Amino acid sequence: MNQEGIFRINGNSRIVERIKASYDRTGEADLTDGGDIMAVAGALKLYLRELPEGIIPEGPTRTFVTTQEGESNTKECNNFKLCIVLELPIMDPDITKKI
């Protein structure tokens, strides 16, 4: 994959909607239809935005962000961030199957 910025640049909104509609209707979508990698990335972003709760729970996210805003170069801080990541719950199997 040699395409840069796939999550920064918006894809064709019609293709994003077609992917979403197909997935909502059948549980599958042809990601090659239209050949727009930006639209595929856009459909993934839309799916993640529409989840009832985030993939990473709010508590660990808040702790990680707070730590990141502090002194992030110290060994102690890096070890703390690693501990936060290791304490994350195992992802919901339904989410991981769909991703």
Q: What is the 3-state secondary structure (H, E, C) of 48-65?
A: HHHCCCCCCCHHHHHHHH
* Residue pair 36/11 in contact by the 8 Å Cβ criterion: yes
% of the chain surpassing 70 pLDDT: 66
Write down the pLDDT at residue 89.
66
Burial 56-80 (b: 16+ CB within 10 A, else e): eeeeeeeebeebeeeeeeeeeeeee
| Average pLDDT score, the chain | 77
**Which of 44, 52, 54, 49 shows the shortest CA–CA distance to 23?**
44
The amino acid occupying position 65 is V
Write down the pLDDT at residue 85.
67
Write down the pLDDT at residue 98.
53
Mean pLDDT calculated for residue range 74-95 = 65
Q: Which has more confidence, 78 or 72?
A: 78
CA distances from 88 to 43, 60, 92 (A): 25, 7, 12
Per residue in 26-51, pLDDT (tens digit) is 988 888 877 788 999 999 999 888 88
- Identify the three-state secondary structure at position 69: helix
93 — pLDDT class (breaks 50, 70, 90): low
> Is the entire prediction scored with pTM above 0.75?
no
